[in-house]
């Protein structure tokens, strides 16, 4: 039977290779997963032209996934450096990579990334449009924006952030409700500026059906961008954010009518006590579509440590229903991250995602922790290292401070509770 997208196949009762692979990875019944994909509650980003892809699923009942951002910019335009980051991200078990390139040889970098990456690749076409056409933002036409989308789709990109929710109506709401940090989304600010300069509707909203046709043809998952995500605690859950979210819910239904898979992007910066309510609101307004959050960062005062502020918010968000966490590095708000920054961001996000999976009762999540606890009870250091989220760091810390007794560590030595209880219980 012919099908166009993973959603179309699921609705027609076709079990694709990608769906079978995801079901096996997630220890989920194939029929149950098929139903979730058909309903739009799970997405499998899998562009037909991404031949190196090892598909993963994002959404209800699945392990919380994490995404890594990278790419070339005008100030840092080293393609080989970013390719090294991509390889390292896969090695560190990132689930997806987003190419945010906005300058230089973006097409070359994107195609190489798709060629070597086993994980889904995402992009933000509006970033690329500015550099690709090499002309002023206001001079780019609606058709040219769509042409960039098709170029990315043809190159094999699996999901694209499309800021279609910031339409003229949302812009009015933004103007009537002043913010402390205005619009901090790069794509959102570009499109807001384009609308103001041209006195026209957002082309991604006005020509949304044309965009969906492109996505349907290549099976690109639309990641509906949150142009009005809060960039500070003060702006969280305000009129602009909520208004745009309502629009995104409407756009979700329109995409599903054309069998196009959809994710929803969310905040941003947000007080800890508002996160759970926001997750519930998003799922309700967007009909259960998978939710993809940047953080959220739970305080604004920790530059250099925002991988921690993000991990705190990410754990709460994912436990409350978010399905996909965009990593944040210690370099957030300061500079382009290094390889070491990237590692710290990935590890922090993986810990947050795993903590949330335990809370959500994801199949198999708790077993990892039980296995680690058994290794600790047995003082089995090699097994502890094998199970650690960062084995290299665990081994290094152990090697840097050797105990007198091998079955203890330098924290407690002979007073180690585990060591002593093992000896007493063994008689």
Which structure tokens are listed for 12? 């027609």
Same domain, 114 and 201: yes
Instruction: Using a pLDDT cut of 90, give the percent of the chain over it.
Output: 89
Is residue 27 within 8 Å of residue 46, measured between CB atoms? Answer: no
Mean pLDDT score of the chain: 95
User: How far is the C-alpha of 275 from the C-alpha of 54, rounded, in Å?
Assistant: 32
Same domain, 348 and 392: no
Tell me how far apart the terminal alpha carbons of the chain are, to the nearest angstrom. 67
Q: Taking the model in full, what pTM does it have?
A: 0.96
Same domain, 329 and 374: no
CATH number of the domain that residue 192 is part of: 3.20.20.540
Judge whether 307 is annotated as a binding position.
Answer: no
Q: Residue 413 — very low, low, confident or very high, per pLDDT cuts 50/70/90?
A: confident
Judge whether 229 is annotated as a binding position.
Answer: yes
Q: Strand, helix or coil at 223? A: strand
Query: Whole domain around residue 407: which residue ranges?
Result: 366-425
Is residue 130 within 8 Å of residue 102, measured between CB atoms? Answer: yes
Looking at 360, 383, 401, which one is the last position of a domain?
360
Q: What does the pLDDT look like over 159-200, one tens digit per residue?
A: 999 999 999 999 999 999 999 999 999 999 999 999 999 999
Same domain, 350 and 396: no
Same domain, 208 and 248: yes
In a domain, 414, yes or no: yes
Q: What does the pLDDT look like over 304-356, one tens digit per residue?
A: 999 999 999 999 999 999 999 999 999 999 999 999 999 999 999 999 999 99
**Could you identify the residue written with the tokens 């500015």?**
130
In a domain, 26, yes or no: no
Looking at 321, 342, 360, which one is the last position of a domain?
360
Judge whether 412 is annotated as a binding position.
Answer: yes
In a domain, 15, yes or no: no
Q: Residue 4 — very low, low, confident or very high, per pLDDT cuts 50/70/90?
A: very high
User: What's the full length of the chain, in residues?
Assistant: 427
pLDDT higher than threshold 90 for residue 1: no
Q: What does the pLDDT look like over 72-106, one tens digit per residue?
A: 877 777 889 999 999 999 999 999 999 998 877 88
Same domain, 391 and 274: no
Judge whether 187 is annotated as a binding position.
Answer: yes
* Exposed/middle/buried for residue 372 (C-beta within 10 Å: 0-12, 13-18, 19+): middle
Which structure tokens are listed for 183? 């619009």
Q: What does the pLDDT look like over 238-249, one tens digit per residue?
A: 999 999 999 999
- Crossing angle of helices 239-257 and 168-176, rounded to 10°: 170
Q: What does the pLDDT look like over 278-297, one tens digit per residue?
A: 999 999 999 999 999 999 99
Task: Using only the alpha carbons of the chain, give its radius of gyration.
Answer: 23
In a domain, 99, yes or no: yes
Helix extents (H) in 67-156: 79-91, 106-116, 125-133, 142-154
Judge whether 77 is annotated as a binding position.
Answer: no
In a domain, 10, yes or no: no
Judge whether 227 is annotated as a binding position.
Answer: yes
- For the chain, the domain total comes to 2
In a domain, 27, yes or no: no
Same domain, 310 and 378: no
Same domain, 230 and 293: yes
Looking at 328, 360, 392, which one is the last position of a domain?
360
Same domain, 278 and 418: no
Quickly count: other Cβ atoms within 10 Å of residue 382's Cβ: 10
In a domain, 286, yes or no: yes
**Could you identify the residue written with the tokens 């990593």?**
327
| Structure-model confidence comparison of residues 413 and 251, the more confident one | 251
Is residue 372 within 8 Å of residue 385, measured between CB atoms? Answer: no
Is residue 61 within 8 Å of residue 36, measured between CB atoms? Answer: yes
Judge whether 186 is annotated as a binding position.
Answer: yes
What dihedral angle (degrees, nearest 10) is formed by the CA atoms of 191, 192, 194, 197?
A: 180
Number of H helices, E strands in the chain: 19, 10
Same domain, 288 and 409: no
In a domain, 81, yes or no: yes
Same domain, 170 and 235: yes
Same domain, 373 and 272: no
User: How far is the C-alpha of 351 from the C-alpha of 346, rounded, in Å?
Assistant: 9
Q: Strand, helix or coil at 91? A: helix
Judge whether 223 is annotated as a binding position.
Answer: no
Instruction: Using a pLDDT cut of 70, give the percent of the chain over it.
Output: 100
pLDDT of 306 reads 98
pLDDT of 105 reads 82
Q: Give the strand pairing for 65-70 and 324-326.
A: parallel
Considering Cα of 220, then 9, then 324, then 179, what sign does the dihedral take?
A: positive
Judge whether 98 is annotated as a binding position.
Answer: yes
Q: What does the pLDDT look like over 155-168, one tens digit per residue?
A: 999 999 999 999 99
pLDDT higher than threshold 90 for residue 409: no
Judge whether 192 is annotated as a binding position.
Answer: no
Judge whether 152 is annotated as a binding position.
Answer: no
Q: Give the strand pairing for 42-43 and 291-294.
A: unpaired
């Amino acid at each position: 039977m012919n099908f166009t997208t993973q959603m179309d196949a699921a609705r027609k009762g076709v079990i694709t290779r990608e769906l079978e692979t995801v079901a096996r990875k997630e220890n989920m019944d194939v029929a149950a997963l098929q139903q979730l994909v058909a309903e739009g509650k799970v997405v499998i980003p899998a562009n037909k032209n991404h031949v190196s892809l090892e598909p993963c699923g994002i959404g209800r009942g699945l392990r919380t996934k994490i995404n890594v951002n990278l790419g070339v910019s005008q100030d840092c335009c080293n393609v080989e450096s970013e390719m090294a980051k991509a390889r390292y991200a896969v090695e560190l078990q990132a689930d997806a990579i987003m190419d945010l390139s906005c300058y230089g040889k973006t097409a070359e970098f994107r195609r190489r990334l798709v060629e070597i990456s086993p994980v889904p690749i995402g992009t933000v076409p509006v970033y690329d449009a500015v550099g690709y056409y090499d002309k002023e933002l206001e001079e780019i036409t609606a058709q040219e924006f769509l042409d960039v989308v098709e170029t990315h789709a043809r190159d094999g990109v699996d999901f694209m952030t499309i800021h279609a929710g910031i339409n003229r109506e949302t812009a009015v709401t933004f103007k009537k409700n002043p913010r402390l940090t205005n619009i901090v989304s790069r794509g959102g600010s570009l499109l807001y500026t384009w609308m103001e300069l041209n006195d026209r509707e957002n082309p991604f909203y006005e020509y949304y059906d044309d965009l969906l046709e492109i996505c349907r043809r290549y099976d690109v998952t639309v990641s509906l961008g949150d142009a009005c995500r809060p960039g500070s605690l003060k702006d969280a859950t305000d009129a602009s954010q909520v208004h745009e979210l309502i629009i995104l819910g409407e756009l979700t239904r329109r995409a599903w009518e054309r069998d196009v898979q959809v994710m929803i992007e969310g905040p941003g910066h947000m007080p800890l006590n508002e996160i759970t309510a926001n997750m519930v609101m998003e799922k309700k307004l967007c009909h259960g579509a998978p939710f993809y959050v940047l953080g959220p960062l739970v305080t604004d005062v920790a530059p250099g440590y925002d991988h921690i502020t993000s991990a705190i918010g990410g754990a709460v968000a994912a436990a409350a229903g978010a399905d996909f966490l965009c990593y944040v590095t210690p370099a957030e708000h300061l500079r382009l991250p290094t390889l070491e920054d990237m590692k710290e961001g990935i590890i922090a996000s993986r810990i947050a995602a795993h903590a949330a999976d335990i809370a959500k009762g994801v199949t198999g999540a708790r077993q990892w922790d039980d296995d680690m606890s058994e290794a600790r009870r047995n003082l089995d250091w090699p097994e502890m290292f094998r199970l650690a989220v960062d084995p290299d760091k665990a081994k290094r810390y152990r090697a840097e401070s050797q105990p007198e007794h091998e079955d203890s560590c330098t924290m407690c030595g002979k007073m180690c509770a585990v060591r002593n209880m093992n000896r007493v219980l063994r008689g």
